[in-house]
């Protein structure tokens, strides 16, 4: 998501080209997080025609070792088209740990099961069937710089009739810098 300078792409590309890490560099040609998601999801559809599920975490998150298996298992056993999971905060300043249960940071659900709504793309499994039906652009570009594009996408998917699930056991750990706890 750096259409101008592309410093991240320049840093990552040699790792992929040299075979050090399997993968590819995807550049969103418009700035904004929705543009970045759309570029990644559309690339997955075009380059990986046999995938059944797309899994998403943010660049400031680390998944538990069994995360992938747990998310896929939840989708299968719940019959869910989209599955969310907890984003567990890891505060840069340990003194902020008391904020972990605040609604901004606490998971919206505690148990695995079908749910009426999901709110974040920070820990998400999306079925190919959802992406095919919803079509690009998946996330509305009007949310590019204000946030909420993921919530809007998830809400539209639920309204379309896709089944939402939650996997409490599929945690990711999200780095929370001190500035996110400070008042404006």
pLDDT at 44 over 80: yes
Where do the structural domains in the chain lie, given as residue ranges?
50-180
* Residues forming a β-bridge with 16: none
CA pair distance 45, 24, nearest whole angstrom: 14
* Residue-level pLDDT at 111: 98
pLDDT at 96 over 90: yes
* Residue-level pLDDT at 99: 94
Q: What are the pLDDT digits (tens) for 97-153?
A: 999 999 999 999 999 999 999 999 999 999 999 999 999 999 999 999 999 999 999
Mean pLDDT, the chain, whole residue set: 94
* Residue-level pLDDT at 133: 98
* Residue-level pLDDT at 182: 84
* Residue-level pLDDT at 3: 59
Q: What are the pLDDT digits (tens) for 52-79?
A: 999 999 989 999 999 999 999 999 999 9
Of the pLDDT bands very low, low, confident and very high (cuts 50, 70, 90), residue 7 is confident
Mean pLDDT of 38-61: 96
Tokens of 94: 């340990």
Of the pLDDT bands very low, low, confident and very high (cuts 50, 70, 90), residue 2 is low
Q: What is the DSSP string of 34-76?
A: HHHHHHHHHHHHHH-TT-SEEEEE-TTEEE-TTHHHHHHHHHH
Domain 50-180 CATH superfamily? Spore Coat Polysaccharide Biosynthesis Protein SpsA; Chain A (3.90.550.10)
């Amino acid at each position: 998501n750096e259409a101008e300078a592309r410093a991240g792409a320049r840093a990552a590309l040699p790792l992929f080209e040299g075979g050090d890490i399997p993968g590819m560099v995807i550049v969103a040609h418009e700035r904004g997080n929705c543009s970045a998601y759309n570029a990644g999801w559309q690339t997955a559809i075009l380059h990986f025609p046999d995938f059944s599920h797309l899994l998403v975490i943010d660049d400031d998150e680390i998944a538990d070792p069994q995360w992938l298996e747990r998310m896929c298992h939840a989708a299968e056993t719940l019959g869910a088209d989209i599955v969310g999971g907890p984003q567990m905060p890891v505060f840069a300043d340990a003194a902020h740990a008391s904020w972990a249960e605040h609604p901004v940071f606490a998971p919206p659900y505690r148990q695995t099961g079908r749910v009426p709504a999901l709110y974040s793309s920070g820990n998400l499994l999306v079925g190919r069937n959802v992406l095919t039906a919803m079509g690009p652009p998946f996330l509305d570009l009007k949310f590019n710089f204000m946030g909420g594009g993921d919530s809007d996408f998830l809400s539209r998917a639920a309204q379309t009739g896709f089944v939402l699930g939650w996997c409490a056991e599929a945690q990711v750990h999200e780095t929370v810098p001190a500035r996110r706890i400070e008042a404006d």
